[in-house]
Amino acid sequence: MQKYIITASTAMRSKTNGGVVYMFPVIIMKIVYLVPLMFIWRTITASGAAIEMSLSQLLTYTYVNALLADMLIIQTYMTGWDFDSKSTAMFTRPMSVYGQVISRTVGEWGPTLLLFSLPMAVIAPFLGIQIIPYTLWFIPSLILCISLGFALEFVFFCITLRLRNVSWLMHVIRAAIISFFSGTVIPFRILPFGLDRWMAYQPFGSLGGAPLALYVGVNQPVRVITAQVVWNVVFWLIAICWFKQSRERMVSFGG
Amino acid sequence: MGKITFKRYMQLVGIYAKMDFATVLRDTKFMMFCIVSDLFGNISSVSGIFLLAWRFDGIGGLDRYEVLFMLAYGNIVMGVMNMMGGCNALFPSRIIGRGQWEHMFIMPLPYGVQMTIGVYPFTTSSKLVTGIALMWFAVANINMALPWWWVFALIINVIISMVIVAALSYLVSSLTFYAPVQCEEISSTVVYSAEYTSTFPLSGMPLYIRMPLLSIFPAGLLAWLPTLIILGKTPILTNLYPIMFAVLVSFAATYFFKKGFEYYVKKGINRYVAGGHRS
């Protein structure tokens, strides 16, 4: 276990090796993403439109999504931009590939959580944001969301390998599809055409949108967690079997 | 590095376009899969805001098809830039940060030509195609008669928005001359963030939110304000703001990029020392 903790710690330090100051652009960008969307909710509710979520719920949803973004949509270096052999290097170390990917990714969350999420959580009440979760079922749901996120990472990595390592294309498509189908940006509950009825049950719906829905209390814990457990079982089985078959197709071009 | 004629420039662009077409022909089935996937990715990335606009019959004074027009405009701007950015022209910090800026010294072509001839019209035009298709759909359904000159206004505003994106990218890339490793991806961070933020309609937002998004981080100039201008929803003086901003940010980018380059020429880069390359 210690080797994974050390890997996580190394990954965390790698984010700030050049100095904490280089984290600021990322933090500023997170705030730039957050503010306009929060004001869109204010604009929509101020227009008097009938809406299934209160302004307070919408603001909390968006705010908590920004705070926990790295956990709600998992992104590892495998599917990030794997052109410089980082993924092949996993096989040169005496550690499990799954363990390396998970510990490294978790470690990389550290600086953002400390420098962005924690201060933002502290000031939330002063901004009028309800930061206390509606139900504690949010916690198991978040754990299942993270677990499913890692399974999907391995699945996407296998797809990339099968598509001759077109990592950039996969990165862009994956980001675009997941941002919509995960429900992290726009809550399923307010989608038109009755889309909310089935969006929550497609696999990506068990990612960020699921714990966020429980956080603000707009979905039933039993429904959400059941769907998450089912998709976890399905996608971990696919991930493990497919990764075993695909890993010998890995190619590195250098950077 | 001598100057080249326009004819030679177009020949070089043609060579890149030909290479791009050869990529499609080499494995057409595979490339079609990639292009179609890219199209779906583009549509998916604008779906959220459009569905919101649909659900609430518009956002902050823009009706649903005006919001779609805005999303289409943003796609056209970034689509053209993607198509012309084959040589990382839009992301100079990558070139500098990877120690590739020196490679350009020995090429018998001016920097500007080297940067802009990488046009890939076949494999990287899906965003532009998405933008044109969405705009066609928006214009066909929009609840107002557009003036006859709207296409000209569109072209001029797209060019201005492109100048703003490029200038912004070069402005922040000047930092890479001082910190090549840390700032290698600074231009892509800024450009992609501006692209994402430009999908939000700023109508109805308070002035203290709108102003920074039209000046410090000008995402509002990449889609929202040009849309209002083309749809004739702004006062005449406001119509001049994007071009004035484009000129100012271009001057700033030129000044700071040259300054950074002078520093770089004296100090060099650590990417050529042992262990200095990306690892």
For B279, the closest chain A residue by CA position comes to A84
In a domain, B3, yes or no: no
User: Mean pLDDT over residues A149-167, rounded?
Assistant: 86
Interval B69-108: pLDDT, tens: 999 999 999 999 989 877 788 899 988 888 888 888 888 8
Lowest mean pLDDT among A103-117, A159-173, B222-236: A159-173
Contact criterion met (CB < 8 Å) for A32 and B45:
no
- Residues of chain A contacting B41 with CB distance shorter than 8 Å: 172-173, 175-177
Most confident range (mean pLDDT) of B31-35, B54-58, B127-131 is B127-131
Name the minimum distance, in Å, from the CA of B108 to any CA of chain A. 25
Q: With bands split at pLDDT 50, 70 and 90, how would you rate the model's confidence at A255? A: very low
Give pLDDT, residue B133: 94
Contact criterion met (CB < 8 Å) for B38 and A169:
yes
- Residues of chain B contacting A164 with CB distance shorter than 8 Å: 30
Q: Which residue has the higher pLDDT, B132 or B148?
A: B132
Share of chain B above pLDDT 90, in %: 42
User: Mean pLDDT over residues B36-55, rounded?
Assistant: 86
> Best of B30, B173, B182 to disrupt the A interface by mutation (most A CBs within 10 Å)?
B182
Lowest mean pLDDT among A24-28, A212-216, B176-180: A24-28
How many domains is chain B built from? Answer: 1
> Best of B193, B216, B224, B277 to disrupt the A interface by mutation (most A CBs within 10 Å)?
B193
Q: With bands split at pLDDT 50, 70 and 90, how would you rate the model's confidence at B279? A: very low
In a domain, B276, yes or no: no
- Residues of chain A contacting B98 with CB distance shorter than 8 Å: 255
Contact criterion met (CB < 8 Å) for B51 and A164:
no
Interval A65-116: pLDDT, tens: 999 999 998 888 777 656 666 677 778 888 888 998 899 999 989 888 998 9
Give pLDDT, residue B85: 79
pTM: 0.86
Name the minimum distance, in Å, from the CA of B182 to any CA of chain A. 7
Name the minimum distance, in Å, from the CA of B85 to any CA of chain A. 15
In a domain, B206, yes or no: yes
Interval B7-19: pLDDT, tens: 999 999 999 999 9
pLDDT at B277 over 60: no
Name the minimum distance, in Å, from the CA of A221 to any CA of chain B. 25
pLDDT at A162 over 60: yes
Task: Kindly report the average pLDDT of chain B as a whole number.
Answer: 88
pLDDT at B224 over 90: yes
In a domain, B278, yes or no: no
User: Mean pLDDT over residues B21-43, rounded?
Assistant: 87
Domain extent for B44: 9-18+28-269
CB nearest A186 (choices: B51, B196, B205): B51
Name the minimum distance, in Å, from the CA of B240 to any CA of chain A. 24
Contact criterion met (CB < 8 Å) for A186 and B48:
yes
Q: What is the DSSP string of chain B?
A: -----HHHHHHHHHHHHHHHHHHHHHTHHHHHHHHHHHHHHHHHHHHHHHHHHHHTTSBTTB-HHHHHHHHHHHHHHHHHHHHH-TTSTT-HHHHHHTT-TGGGGGSSS-HHHHHH----TTTS-HHHHHHHHHHHHHHHH-SSPPPTTHHHHHHHHHHHHHHHHHHHHHHHHGGGGT-TTTTTTHHHHHHHHHHHHTTS--TTS-HHHHTGGGTTS-GGGTTHHHHHHHTT-S-HHHHTHHHHHHHHHHHHHHHHHHHHHHHHHHH--GGGSTT-S--
